[in-house]
Structure 1
Amino acid sequence: MGVVCVTALQGSGQFVLFSYFAPILRERLGADATQLGLVWAWFGACGVVGNMLVSRHIDRIGASRMVLVTTALIALSLLLWPLGVSLVWLAILLTPWGLGCFATNSAQQARLVSLSPSLAPGSVALNSSGIYIGRALGAGAGGWLLAHGAIDWMNWVGLVTVLAAIALSISVDRARTRTLAINA
């Protein structure tokens, strides 16, 4: 369940801001529909590349480490978000997030399968629930911040939540290592 909670925290941290890209980019950068479409297309293309890279390297790096890498990429973009003062800069800053955003879910699923192959159907299904719970919580928090004029806090709330996901992920791995050492 710790791994599923990591997924929920990842989703929550991302969706504080991700859910509101369109109104924020319109307000802050004057983005029109075409520019918003290009930002989404770029983000999606980065997501495809990220998933391809994870698929290619996960066996060598390991699922748990890949989760940390992909989540750190998301955290990097959330940290640098305030520097996105133009659409070009924003696209550059969104690249790490795009690479990590969808790939982290793939890595989490591989992690769950490797932890207990016999429980994989149930654990992967629970992970999907974690994704949706996280998205709902993040979007709710982001909506609250947006409604209260706290747009400048959205990336920071997201970042803290994603950093909590990283801390929990490390904690889950350490607990598993200790358990395996005791049982050996």
Structure 2
Amino acid sequence: MDKRLFVLALGMFALGTDSFVVAGVLPKISESFQITPGLAGQLTTAYAIAYALLSPTIAALAASVPRKKLMLSGLAVFVLANLATAAAPTFFLALLTRVFAGLGAAMYAPTATGTGALIVAPEHRGKALTIIVAGLTAATALGSPMGTVIGGLGDWRWTMVFVSVIGLLAAIGIAVLLKQVPLPAKVSFRARIAPLSDARVGLTLATTLLAMAGNFVIYTYFSVVFDRVLTSTALFGALLVLWGSGGTVTNIVLSRLLDKFGPREVLLVMLSVLVVDMALVPWASAHLWSSVLAIAVWGIAGWGIMGPQQYRLVNIAPQIAPVVLGLNTAATYLGVTAAGVLGAAGLQVLGGHKLGFFSVLLFALAIVASELATRRIAGREAAAAAAA
């Protein structure tokens, strides 16, 4: 593998680990600051909302900044912000540092993805993008569990140091291995959000937001939902590995399923499986064997959402595929943001063990949004066929 792609993926691994690892050390953070788990979960919310809102903004405003300089600057902000989180004496300051970590991630992620496509031959761009995005998948399967174990064996603050070290290694790799990268064509902020006026795109993005919120309502408060079976740090880490590994299983089979059945059918099956699985979580989470089964199904189906969504968006707007895929990433992290807030409310209303019912509602709404998007897409195709 091209070493340059590896270091770009390593940076994405750091960003992804930072997104997911708070869930693994939530009890430690809650205890450290003497706050509720729901309030502690807002550390994920602050990072995710900064990441989501600033990514398209920075991509437009910093279009003329050299790619290498922008990525190194983003990773520098990211590393320093995570070290600041580790040193934060109060929850408010920790929350503030998470916003700056999200800023660093927003500077790095879209730039790294675009750079990966520019530094390889056109016929290898798909592979390059797959390798870079795989860094995020690996973060759920490896980064978050490793951070959880580090925090469990010591202090949660060492988990944030761990994330900073990964980001620093990625920055060193980019500084050494990556030469100057040609600037891509400039796309204005208005052009980046223009696809939102298309109902097909808007409804598809709404599906992503709702589905990701359904996933992360449970993931953000994993330690509360499954507290009846989490008897050790090692087991906690193993269950997180199980959930993240579902993405690997899904990626292996998803391309064939999409080509054979189409995105609408695959997405409908995945969301329907999630509705049933989350409805059973209040009971499944009481026993280890049933928790393992529920988490495995959740991981496979939950990670099966992004492929169909990306497939659908590229088919809707192939000429501006990077723009709509960027919007889909923003919708993903807005979903994570919503999950932190809604999950905190759900803890108060339903309690941790029944939080799965909240996910059921969100996944059901995602099905509705997806079916509405399907109707709009079919209507536009029928109109185009009639005009031809």
1:125 CA drift (Å): 0.3
Instruction: Name the residue aligned to 1:5.
Output: 206
Are 1:56 and 2:239 an aligned pair? no
1:124-159, Cα deviation, whole Å (9 max, x unpaired) = 000000000011101211123225662244111111
RMSD: 1.7
CA contact under 8 A between 1:74 and 1:98: conserved in structure 2? no
* 1:70-81 mapped onto 2 (5 Å cutoff): 70-81=270-281
**Structure 2: distance between partners of 1:62 and 1:166:** 15
Are 1:160 and 2:323 an aligned pair? no
* 1:81-120 mapped onto 2 (5 Å cutoff): 81-84=281-284, 85-120=286-321
**Structure 2: distance between partners of 1:17 and 1:155:** 7
Q: 2:306 is matched by which residue type in structure 1?
A: N
Instruction: Name the residue aligned to 1:182.
Output: 383
**Secondary structure of the residue that 1:103 maps to in structure 2?**
coil
- After the TM superposition, which segments of 4 or more aligned residues of structure 1 sit over 3 Å from their partners? none
Identity %: 24
Instruction: Name the residue aligned to 1:123.
Output: 324
1:9 CA drift (Å): 0.4
1:102-140, Cα deviation, whole Å (9 max, x unpaired) = 221122111111122112111100000000001110121
Instruction: Name the residue aligned to 2:334.
Output: 133
CA contact under 8 A between 1:16 and 1:141: conserved in structure 2? yes
Taking structure 2 as the reference length, the TM-score comes to 0.45
**Secondary structure of the residue that 1:178 maps to in structure 2?**
helix
1:53-82, Cα deviation, whole Å (9 max, x unpaired) = 112321111122222222222222211112
Q: How many residues align?
A: 183
Instruction: Name the residue aligned to 1:34.
Output: 234
1:96 CA drift (Å): 2.0
Unaligned runs of 5+ in 1: none
**Structure 1: distance between partners of 2:377 and 2:262:** 15
Instruction: Name the residue aligned to 1:146.
Output: 347
In terms of fraction of residues, the more helix-rich structure is: 1
Unaligned runs of 5+ in 2: 1-201
**Structure 1: distance between partners of 2:280 and 2:348:** 23
